[in-house]
Amino acid sequence: MDITFTEEQEMLRKSASDFLAAECSKTKVRELEDDNKGYSPEIWQKMAGLGWMGLAIPEEYDGMGMTFQDLTILLEQMGKNILPSPFVATVVEGAIPILEAGSEEQKRGFLPKIANGESIFTMAILEPSGLYDASGIAVKATAQGDNYVIKGTKVFVGMANVADYLICVARTKDASSPEDGITLFIVGAKAPGLHCEVIPTIAMDKLCEVRFEDVAVPKKNMLGELDKGWPIAQRVMQKGAIAKCAESIGGMQAAFDMTVAYCKERVQYDRPIGAFQALQHIMADMWIHTQTSKYLVYQVAWMESEGIACAMEAAMAKAYVNETYKWVTERAVSLHGGIGTSREHDIPLYYRRAKAADTAFGSTDFQRELVASRIGLIS
Average pLDDT over residues 6-12: 94
Give residue-wise pLDDT tens across range 86-145. 999 999 999 999 999 999 999 999 999 999 999 999 999 999 999 999 999 999 999 999
Average pLDDT over residues 190-217: 96
Its pTM surpasses 0.85:
yes
Question: At residue 65, does pLDDT exceed 70?
Answer: yes
Question: At residue 4, does pLDDT exceed 90?
Answer: no
The confidence score (pLDDT) of residue 176 equals 87
Give residue-wise pLDDT tens across range 256-290. 999 999 999 998 898 999 999 999 999 999 999 99
Question: At residue 379, does pLDDT exceed 70?
Answer: no
SS (HEC) of the chain: CCCCCCHHHHHHHHHHHHHHHHHCCHHHHHHHHHCCCCCCHHHHHHHHHCCCCCCCCCHHHCCCCCCHHHHHHHHHHHHHCCCCCCHHHHHHHHHHHHHHHCCHHHHHHHHHHHHCCCCCEEEECCCCCCCCCHHHCCCEEEEECCEEEEEEEEEEEECCCCCCEEEEEEECCCCCCCCCCEEEEEEECCCCCEEEEEECCCCCCCEEEEEEEEEEEEHHHEECCCCECHHHHHHHHHHHHHHHHHHHHHHHHHHHHHHHHHHHHCEECCEEHHHCHHHHHHHHHHHHHHHHHHHHHHHHHHHHHCCCCCHHHHHHHHHHHHHHHHHHHHHHHHHCHHHHHCCCCCHHHHHHHHHHHCCCCCCHHHHHHHHHHHCCCCC
Residue 376's pLDDT band, with cuts at 50, 70 and 90, is: confident
What domains, with CATH codes, occur in the chain?
7-119 (1.10.540.10), 122-227 (2.40.110.10), 231-374 (1.20.140.10)
Percent of the chain with pLDDT over 90: 93
